[in-house]
Amino acid sequence: MSDLFSNEALITQLNNYIDLLIKPLLSDVDHSKILIDNKQSEIVVSLIVNQEDVSRLIGRHGQAVSALEDMLYYNGVKRQKRIKLKILPKEKDLS
């Protein structure tokens, strides 16, 4: 039972959610970065994506990002961890 609530299990579950729910929304998966920073009391999931994908992830009136944040929140509550979602636009190469 303790294995179900381990950090490794949570990170694996977050990666599965990202593959299932977030990657299909991205137009350019190959040039997107997904970083998971596991800290003592919180986990920060950072999505670094193209500007057009930022709009897709946020959704109309913020509904898509709100649903993603809720899903992450409830998964963290089970494990007494706070999970934050950051959506960051990828900086364009100036060269």
- The per-residue pLDDT for 6 is 73
The two counts, helices (H) then strands (E), for the chain are 3, 3
How far is the CA of 64 from the CAs of 4, 6, 9, 41, 60, in angstroms?
27, 28, 25, 25, 7
- Distance, in Å, from the CA atom of 18 to the CA atom of 34, rounded to the nearest integer, reads 9
Write the single-letter amino acid at 5.
F
Query: What pLDDT sits at residue 1?
Result: 45
First-residue to last-residue Cα distance in the chain: 52
pLDDT at 94: 43
The one-digit pLDDT tens for each residue of the chain (95 residues) are 455 557 788 888 888 888 888 888 888 888 889 899 988 889 999 999 998 889 888 888 888 899 989 988 888 888 888 999 999 998 765 44
Closest alpha carbon to 38 in 10, 17, 13: 10
CATH topology of domain 2-89: GMP Synthetase; Chain A, domain 3 (3.30.300)
Domain spans in the chain, listed from the N-terminal domain onward: 2-89
Whether pTM exceeds 0.85:
no
